[in-house]
Amino acid sequence: MLIPLIRIGNSKGVRLPKAVIEQAGLEDQIDLEVKDGKVILSSARPARAGWEAAAQACHDGGHDDLADWDGALNDFEGSWE
């Protein structure tokens, strides 16, 4: 699909067709990445999105035992602020 690069003030931009926005699941903010000479737009996910479901799945599967945790922070001598 060819679309024009349009002038927006001192910058340039593209208008994405509504169908493309809906198919990609884009909302108010998107992630933009330039990789190998290509501009990649993707749906921006909030930080820690999906963590609750992943934690519940671990719990439901019996994988929430911390007995094997090495306690790496036990040597921490500072204070949390």
**In angstroms, how far apart are the furthest CA atoms of the chain?**
59
* Contact (Cβ atoms closer than 8 angstroms) between residue 26 and residue 43: yes
pLDDT of residue 27: 87
pLDDT of residue 40: 94
Residues near 4 by beta carbon (within 8 Å), at least 6 away in sequence = 14
H-only helix segments in the chain: 18-24, 51-60
- pLDDT tens by residue, 31-79: 999 999 999 999 887 777 788 888 888 888 877 776 666 666 666 677 7
Report the number of distinct structural domains present in the chain. 1
Q: Give pTM, 2 decimals.
A: 0.50
The answer to the question of residue 69 being in a domain is no
CATH of the domain at 16: 2.10.260.10
Domain span at residue 3 reads 1-64
* Contact (Cβ atoms closer than 8 angstroms) between residue 43 and residue 21: no
pLDDT of residue 34: 97
